A and B are shown apart, each in its own frame.
Chain A
Amino acid sequence: MELEKFTYDNKHAKMFIYASIVFGVIGMLVGLIAALELIFPNLSAEIAYLSFGRIRPLHTNAVIFAFVGNGIFAAVYYSMPRLLKTPMFSNLLGNIHFWGWQIIILAAAITLPLGLTQSKEYAELIWPIDLAVVVVWVVFGINLIGTILKRRTKHIYVAIWFYIATWVTVAVLYITNNIVIPVSFLESYPIYAGIQDALVQWWYGHNAVAFFLTTPYLGLMYYFIPKAANRPVYSYKLSIIHFWALIFLYIWAGPHHLLYSALPDWAQALGVVFSVILIAPSWGGMINGLLTLRGAWDKVREDPVLKMFVVGVTAYGMSTFEGPMLSLKSVNALSHFTDWTIAHVHIGTLGWNGMLTFGMIYWLIPRLFNTKLASLKLANSHFWIATLGMLFFSIPLYFAGFTQALMWKQFTEEGYLAYPNFLETVTQILPMYYLRAFGGTLYFIGMLLFVVNIIKTVKSGSFVRYEEDGAPAQPKVHKAKEGWHRRLEGKPIQFTVLALVAILIGGLVEIVPMYMVKTNVPTISSIKPYTPLELEGRDIYMREGCYLCHSQMIRPFRSETARYGEYTKAGETVYDHPFLFGSKRTGPDLARQGVKSLPNYKPDSWHYNHMVNPQSLNAESIMPPYPWLAEDDLDISDIAKKIEVMMTLGVPYPEGYAAQAEADLKAQAATIAQGLRDGGIQVENDKEIIALIAYLQRLGTDLYSESGK
């Protein structure tokens, strides 16, 4: 048959690799700084832009969307043309995709330290950047589907199915979770509130793990492990089954992030069941990856690429076993809000995403530059340092998690909390934080070795921009009658639609009843909207990332109600746009911080002094200082607009209240500031800290005002 000649353009694969490396270094360095700030709370030198609450989102966004994101695109732009025997659909779209994505990352790197955030984990970016993400994602999608449509092969290899599922699902998740009403160019409030917002966010958050960190990397695995081992995938049949099972089941598992929360029980149960079933397809992928190396284990001893793939896929297996275990309610009761979660996540990211990225780049760069890897020895050192770094990072945090959870739950024989002072449970696990920072340092050193090796390799070769290939012009025609699945996978659009249907079923079943069933969120008559000053304080709470270390979700356990007060009800959160449950307790829960009758209550003056200098009140505290809150004036220029947006969202302020909001705000601020001045603290009415104190003192009080506790 006549062979058609065509060329592959390696330019975009190379550019995405470089971007992945550069942002990998930055993202990991920021993570290391964040880890050190948890040990040395004054490390940020009182510079707002460097405080933990602002750089933690920078770390997560940089490693997820910049390091891993660019890694995904490198894999896609390299493997797609070769699997489909055609160049990518459009060079121009490739350019727009590449530069658009990097500009978005740059915008994130500027806005997050400035405290501009939507305060939803992994969805922190403000709405104008979200719009840019959607545009670039669509550009990527056109390039992806376009390439598939003009292919010269009849069938589409499984790696590309994973790319398709990634594209379609991330599009649905991202848009759904980021529907907001703007207050200004930089600020917005989500249309969902409280428990419903939490469900949407964790439906998104969990599936960001599933469809950004997992499915595209499974695609990467299915292409690069066979390439590196030079043998076909262990079982192609298994890959078909585990693909469909994985994308169908993953979408359901989000509620396991909200176990024992105010989420209705039926939704929690759904999340648990599907999380447990998820072991099967996840391990299907792991087994397929590892067994592809059958008969090639002698190569694994020598080849750093295969070593990294083996550790990466093994970490995937461990992580996807641990995940379902963590979603069992009895285990989650212990693990949730502790460092256990952080350990779990980093087995996945440092192991699965990190190692697979390194392996792929070590394999690709010598090929793109027609040379050999500069130093096998250095790559092997990187492998060992990274593996040890991952273990030194995670194992101490497991112990930190168990220890702290058990201390939180410990009662004395007399029936009192054994460790009523939260800080005791923090100082107990601080040595583990040192070890974690050590592990992170090791991993980062490995990253630097990687960079050196790649630079040397690039310098030793010359870039092969175009590669020639040939294939028959028309897709091969199968004479035998084809099964429906084979016909389906020959039709990318229908395939994409079916993948979309598969993920929508789970999403809709979970989310629609939450909105439709009125009894899911029982209303509580004493719950009132925030005052304008409290609303401003809440915005500061979000800006400073307080929710990253303080939860606002008291679970229905005796150990929690004894420490924090009455457990959180769904109906208490109905005016919370967005919800601020948090997912980690580095400090105590704040859901009932304002209730005077509870043991954790603190007066205004305590909050003031604590915010300015936490260590002056608790020498061992690891909370960073926020002196700028006492120095900076509160910006109230948007308050009327904020109230209007809240009213649009259904928060029942009286008609025309927006006009009155500023006066009310000033009156409340004057009262609080006067109280502080009476106590000997020199502070003006219009400082940011006044609003934050107002918010903290409001937390949880409505429920108590009704029952008269």
Chain B
Amino acid sequence: MKIVMHSLEQISGVAIYPIIALVIFFVFFMLVGYMVVSAPKEYIDEMSHMPLDENDDLPTDNHN
């Protein structure tokens, strides 16, 4: 803990934090990207139709 506190008190080390965060983001982004690209088509279709999968028997025609 002392080492962490010590390095935090120095302005010279501050750049390391955004770099670490950026690396975390980049890795996570790549993982999500890979997952999305490799996702099966049926799954994506099923998900994207979710709002439409309803027994919507109310009027959908608004024309006067």
A residues near B (Cβ < 8 Å) are: 79, 82-83, 153, 155, 157-159, 222-223, 226-227, 230-233, 236-237, 240-241, 244-245, 248-249, 264, 266, 270, 303, 305, 366-367, 370-373, 375-377, 464, 467-470, 478, 480, 483-486, 502, 505-506, 509, 512-513, 516-520
Taking CB atoms, residues of chain A closer than 8 Å to B15 are: 266
A-B contact pairs, 28 of them (CB 8 A): A82-B54, A159-B51, A223-B51, A227-B51, A227-B52, A232-B52, A233-B48, A237-B36, A237-B37, A245-B29, A248-B28, A248-B29, A249-B25, A264-B11, A266-B14, A305-B62, A366-B59, A367-B56, A372-B61, A373-B62, A373-B64, A376-B62, A376-B63, A377-B64, A509-B21, A512-B8, A513-B14, A519-B11
Taking CB atoms, residues of chain A closer than 8 Å to B61 are: 372
Q: Known pairs A79-B51, A155-B46; list 18 more (Cβ under 8 Å).
A: A157-B50, A157-B51, A227-B52, A232-B45, A236-B47, A237-B36, A241-B29, A241-B32, A244-B29, A372-B63, A375-B64, A376-B64, A483-B35, A485-B39, A505-B21, A509-B20, A513-B8, A517-B14
> Whose C-beta in chain A lies nearest to the C-beta of B25?
A248
- Which of these, B5, B24, B48, contacts A516 with CB under 8 Å? B5
B52 and A158 contacting across the interface, CB-CB below 8 Å: no
B36 and A241 contacting across the interface, CB-CB below 8 Å: yes
B10 and A517 contacting across the interface, CB-CB below 8 Å: yes
State in angstroms the CA–CA spacing of A367 and B62 once bound together. Answer: 10
Taking CB atoms, residues of chain A closer than 8 Å to B54 are: 82, 469
A367 and B58 contacting across the interface, CB-CB below 8 Å: yes
Taking CB atoms, residues of chain A closer than 8 Å to B37 are: 237
A83 in contact with B39 given A241-B32, A244-B29, A372-B62 (CB within 8 Å): no
Q: How far is the CB of A421 from chain B (nearest CB, A)?
A: 41
State in angstroms the CA–CA spacing of A243 and B35 once bound together. Answer: 14
Q: How far is the CB of A449 from chain B (nearest CB, A)?
A: 16
A480 and B40 contacting across the interface, CB-CB below 8 Å: yes
- Which of these, A226, A516, A517, contacts B52 with CB under 8 Å? A226
Q: How far is the CB of A491 from chain B (nearest CB, A)?
A: 15
State in angstroms the CA–CA spacing of A517 and B35 once bound together. Answer: 39
B21 and A237 contacting across the interface, CB-CB below 8 Å: no
Taking CB atoms, residues of chain B closer than 8 Å to A305 are: 62
Taking CB atoms, residues of chain A closer than 8 Å to B64 are: 372-373, 375-377
A237 and B39 contacting across the interface, CB-CB below 8 Å: yes
Q: How far is the CB of A154 from chain B (nearest CB, A)?
A: 9
Taking CB atoms, residues of chain A closer than 8 Å to B46 are: 155
Taking CB atoms, residues of chain B closer than 8 Å to A366 are: 58-59, 62
Number of B residues near A (Cβ < 8 Å) is: 44
State in angstroms the CA–CA spacing of A340 and B55 once bound together. Answer: 47
> Whose C-beta in chain A lies nearest to the C-beta of B35?
A485
A230 and B60 contacting across the interface, CB-CB below 8 Å: yes
Taking CB atoms, residues of chain A closer than 8 Å to B39 are: 237, 483, 485-486
State in angstroms the CA–CA spacing of A483 and B43 once bound together. Answer: 11
Q: Most chain-B Cβ atoms within 10 A of its Cβ — which of A236, A376, A467? A: A236
B44 and A236 contacting across the interface, CB-CB below 8 Å: yes
The 6 closest A-B pairs by CB, nearest first: A516-B8, A236-B48, A232-B48, A157-B50, A485-B35, A509-B17
> Whose C-beta in chain A lies nearest to the C-beta of B5?
A516
A240 and B32 contacting across the interface, CB-CB below 8 Å: yes
B47 and A158 contacting across the interface, CB-CB below 8 Å: yes
B2 interface residue (CB < 8 Å to A): no
Taking CB atoms, residues of chain A closer than 8 Å to B62 are: 303, 305, 366, 372-373, 376
Q: Most chain-B Cβ atoms within 10 A of its Cβ — which of A222, A366, A506, A513? A: A513
> Whose C-beta in chain A lies nearest to the C-beta of B24?
A505
> Whose C-beta in chain B lies nearest to the C-beta of A233?
B48
A153 in contact with B50 given A241-B33, A480-B40, A516-B5 (CB within 8 Å): yes
Q: How far is the CB of B31 from chain A (nearest CB, A)?
A: 8
Q: How far is the CB of B10 from chain A (nearest CB, A)?
A: 7
Q: How far is the CB of A245 from chain B (nearest CB, A)?
A: 6
State in angstroms the CA–CA spacing of A366 and B61 once bound together. Answer: 10
A155 in contact with B47 given A230-B60, A509-B17, A516-B8 (CB within 8 Å): yes
Taking CB atoms, residues of chain B closer than 8 Å to A464 are: 58
B9 and A485 contacting across the interface, CB-CB below 8 Å: no
State in angstroms the CA–CA spacing of A478 and B43 once bound together. Answer: 10
Q: How far is the CB of B23 from chain A (nearest CB, A)?
A: 11
- Which of these, B18, B38, B44, B51, contacts A509 with CB under 8 Å? B18
Taking CB atoms, residues of chain B closer than 8 Å to A222 are: 51
Taking CB atoms, residues of chain B closer than 8 Å to A478 are: 43
A517 in contact with B21 given A158-B47, A226-B51, A367-B58 (CB within 8 Å): no
